[in-house]
Amino acid sequence: MDLSKEKKIAMYQDMLKIRLFEEKVFELYGQNIVPGTIHLYAGEEAVAVGVCTNLRKEDYIVSTHRGHGHCIAKGARLDKTMAEILGKKTGYCKGKGGSMHIADFSIGMLGATAVVGAGIPIATGAGLSIKLRGTDQVAACFFGDGASNQGTFHEGVNMAAIWKLPVLFICENNLYAMGTHQRRVMLVKHVMERAVAYGIPGVCVDGNNVLEVYEATLEACKRARNGDGPTLIECKTYRRKGHSRWDPATYRPKGEVDEWLNKDPIQRMKKHLIVDGVFSESKLIEIEEEVMNSIEEAVKFALDSPFPQPEEALEDVYA
């Protein structure tokens, strides 16, 4: 694999950034500082980071209700992300979107939709736009195992396939659509098997191994930029917490939870880096402190920021 030491460090750092960011969001939620609900990305960091490490700034991503990790991995600012989650005027969407609808069009982050599966045709459209404009960008679409049961999955993937659009369909299979286990709602073992129906390649990777995700995405990006069309990549992963803030996730057997928590993507990468000699333990602590500081700054920025003026609710309906 053509992964430089710097890239590996950056990947570790980005995963850690997402994890610590999400832990901070969880903490702030507990203090009643975050309005509404939250869907934490903790546990799935290797997917967003493994994918986005292959993307350029001008490439696109389409995200979901569980989208904080996608934003951070694509390079969104922590302060504006946190401010949005807190409903502040300085947030990415001026407080109009919140946790489930963060977007940063300046870095190709085309936004998070909270309708499960709705982003799939939108990513296909971004791919169509790329093809019509004749650039070599790609569009990566994140969605869950649950979304692969939506009609939009069938329609959107098929359309991208027939037109050979440069789209990466990234299925984050965390085993549960809210509380419903995959085996109760699909007979195939792997979402990836569905690729056959569209005549496109489907691959399945350990979604808690950032290097595996990286490698699969690298290949898919090459295909896409070459004009060979989309790839469906299924990343097997697991949420560390429940579906949303209110969900204690009691439907998940303890053995299963323990097994997955042991496969923590960040710990595994950390071990890999140390064994590989990329890092010393002390360097890792340094990185952790650096990340923590950036998150503290983001929190401070968000907390110090004003809420929008009530009358702003009436603005931005039309361009």
Which residues make up the interface to other proteins (CB under 8 A)?
Answer: 60, 62, 91-97, 101, 103-105, 110-111, 113, 115, 118, 120-133, 139, 151-152, 154-156, 158-159, 162, 315-319
DSSP secondary structure of 198-238: GTS-EEEEETT-HHHHHHHHHHHHHHHHTT---EEEEEE--
**Whole-number minimum distance, CB 164 to other proteins, in Å?**
12
Is 11:276 a contact under the CB 8 Å cutoff? no
- Closer to other proteins at the Cβ: 58 or 276? 58
Of 203, 78, 226, nearest in space to 138 by CA = 226
Which residue lies nearer to other proteins by CB, 246 or 318? 318
Count CB neighbours of 170 within 10 A.
29
CB count in 10 Å sphere of residue 3: 14
Q: What span, in angstroms and rounded, lies between the C-alpha atoms of 94 and 214?
A: 33
Shortest distance in whole angstroms from residue 137 CB to other proteins: 9
**Is the CB of 103 or the CB of 291 nearer to other proteins?**
103
Which lies closer to other proteins via its Cβ, residue 290 or residue 315? 315
3-state secondary structure of 111: strand
Tokens of 185: 């709602």
Residue 245 in tokens: 């803030």
State how far the Cα of 279 lies from the Cα of 11, in Å rounded to an integer.
13
CB 292 within 8 A of CB 20: yes
* 27 or 316: CB nearest other proteins: 316
Q: How far is the CB of 131 from other proteins (least distance, A)?
A: 8
Residue 160 CB, shortest distance to other proteins, in Å, is 9
Closest CA to 63 of 122, 22, 131: 122
CB nearer to other proteins: give 143 or 279.
143
Q: Which is nearer to other proteins, 29 or 92 (CB)?
A: 92
What's the min distance (Å) between Cβ of 284 and other proteins? 36
For the bound state, the minimum distance from the C-beta of residue 308 to other proteins, rounded and expressed in Å, comes to: 9
- Collapsing DSSP states into helix, strand and coil, what is residue 168? strand
Tokens 């979107």 belong to residue:
97
What's the closest the beta carbon of residue 150 comes to other proteins, in angstroms?
A: 9
